[in-house]
């Protein structure tokens, strides 16, 4: 949590809790050279390798499926596994979305340029299998189907906000759409595109939203925000786990990616 957010929470009277140390115990390591990791709600693990291969592992670490598309689209800039039956890859440099099934077989490819969308920094799966994206050129949140047709869109954010968000992440969860702008916070909308409010979380990395919590970290600490009670908790990142490539911090398990591979830990605090 940034100092500005901490002060704002105190002014608003929201509960802030600083916790003690986090104790971890390693369960397993999956060696390899990976650029990104994601975990779905069935605890399957998805690893993007440095040669642009996507690998799916089960909760035991055994390989389930592999997707290769090394030559055509290059490096994927976003991976959304919030629906294990519809895995979404986004190739920002080509403005192209690739939808995969649970075995990582391609089922659809959407070239956003055919819909005159050339600059969408943030995309994400919707609860009904469609796709949300933020069109930076128009300043509009759009929902598209699996052919790229626009199903709905919000008014121009530049008319709604004095300082419109520039989201880097879109998450559909808890019957809300969360747009995360690391500089301004998390903007929430309903499924009709109506603005519901903003959560004063800024400068978090590896943002993850579950039914109950928002997780994230900065260079030195893990954070957890409880959605119902608005309580913030924080723990120093253990010395041996600092400065890693990526963290996924959630109830019970901590996934840590570095240049040696992926390590999975249990933790307590």
Residue ranges per structural domain of the chain: 1-31+214-269
Q: How far apart are CA 128 and CA 130, in angstroms?
A: 6
The pTM of the full predicted model, rounded to 2 decimals, is 0.90
pLDDT at position 19: 60
pLDDT at position 13: 45
Q: How far apart are CA 205 and CA 245, in angstroms?
A: 11
pLDDT at position 269: 83
pLDDT at position 249: 87
pLDDT at position 2: 52
Q: How far apart are CA 100 and CA 81, in angstroms?
A: 10
CB atoms within 10 A of CB 260: 14
CA distances from 122 to 30, 38, 40, 88, 136 (A): 29, 16, 19, 12, 9
Q: How far apart are CA 112 and CA 123, in angstroms?
A: 11
Please say whether the beta carbons of 156 and 137 come within 8 A.
Answer: no
pLDDT, tens only, 232-266: 999 999 999 999 999 998 778 999 999 999 999 99
pLDDT at position 103: 96
Extract the residue ranges of the chain whose pLDDT is less than 50.
Answer: 3, 6-8, 10-15
Please say whether the beta carbons of 79 and 46 come within 8 A.
Answer: yes
pLDDT at position 16: 52
pLDDT at position 71: 63
Among 121, 127, 126, 125, smallest CA distance to 140 is for 121
Q: How far apart are CA 17 and CA 187, in angstroms?
A: 23
Please say whether the beta carbons of 79 and 88 come within 8 A.
Answer: yes
pLDDT at position 80: 97
């Amino acid at each position: 949590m940034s100092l500005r957010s901490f002060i704002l929470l105190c002014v608003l009277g929201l509960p802030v809790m600083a916790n003690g140390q986090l104790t971890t115990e390693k369960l397993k390591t999956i060696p390899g050279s990976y650029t990104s990791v994601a975990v779905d709600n069935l605890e399957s693990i998805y690893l993007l390798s440095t040669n642009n291969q996507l690998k799916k592992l089960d909760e035991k670490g055994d390989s389930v499926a592999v997707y290769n598309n090394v030559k055509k689209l290059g490096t994927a800039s976003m991976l959304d596994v919030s629906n294990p039956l519809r895995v979404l890859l986004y190739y920002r440099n080509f403005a192209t979305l690739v939808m995969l099934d649970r075995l990582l077989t391609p089922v659809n490819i959407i070239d956003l340029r055919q819909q005159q969308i050339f600059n969408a920094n943030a995309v994400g799966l919707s609860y009904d299998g469609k796709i949300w994206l933020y069109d930076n050129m128009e300043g509009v949140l759009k929902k598209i189907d699996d052919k790229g047709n626009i199903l709905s869109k919000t008014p121009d954010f530049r008319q709604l906000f004095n300082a419109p968000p520039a989201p880097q992440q879109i998450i559909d969860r808890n019957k809300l759409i969360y747009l995360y702008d690391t500089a301004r916070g998390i903007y929430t909308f309903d499924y009709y595109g109506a603005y519901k409010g903003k959560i004063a979380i800024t400068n978090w990395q590896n943002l993850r939203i579950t039914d109950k919590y928002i997780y994230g970290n900065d260079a030195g600490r893990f954070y957890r925000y409880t959605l119902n009670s608005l309580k913030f908790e924080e723990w120093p990142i253990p010395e041996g786990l600092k400065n890693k490539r990526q963290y996924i911090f959630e109830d019970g398990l901590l996934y840590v990616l570095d240049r040696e591979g992926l390590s999975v830990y249990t933790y307590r605090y």
